[in-house]
Amino acid sequence: MQDLDLILLVELNAVYRTAKATVEAGDFDTGLELAENAWARLPEPKFDWDASKMYALALAALYRDTQNYEKGEALMKELFASGTVKPYQAEPYFMLGTIYFEMGDLQNAEKWLKDAHEISKADASEINLKNIGR
């Protein structure tokens, strides 16, 4: 995991805050465009940076909140496929669970939200992904 250049980190943080505020104000298209452009500025490989998970979760939340569920699901699946999600990190599981919930896919929502719950209540030293259903 590499540290993102501090100047780029500050710039992207500001863009994501603006994107979130823009979506919350009701301008979904502009907010998503801002966030997607910020994600595009993250150097490849996208998931190899210290801030990657934070930005992926922020973009997935915007996709969920603007009913772009398939894009949110795809981004979260990319995150999991990257191999960078640590066994003690419940947030990606929670995000994917909420996306499935909003899609109306209650079976997948339940599975992912249960996993997030199990991870979040466990002591980091107790976590074993084999016990979480993967």
Provide the residue ranges of all domains of the chain, joining segments of one domain with +: 1-68, 86-134
Quick one: how far is CA 68 from the chain centroid? 14
Phi, psi torsion values for 2, nearest 5 degrees: -105, 150
Please tell me the predicted confidence (pLDDT) of residue 1: 82
| Residue 121 CB neighbours (<10 A) | 9
d(CA 96, CA 65): 13
d(CA 132, CA 87): 10
Three-state DSSP state, 51: coil
**Stretches in the chain below the pLDDT threshold 50:** 127, 133-134
Please tell me the predicted confidence (pLDDT) of residue 108: 96
Please tell me the predicted confidence (pLDDT) of residue 125: 52
Please tell me the predicted confidence (pLDDT) of residue 134: 44
Please tell me the predicted confidence (pLDDT) of residue 69: 98
Please tell me the predicted confidence (pLDDT) of residue 11: 97
d(CA 37, CA 47): 16
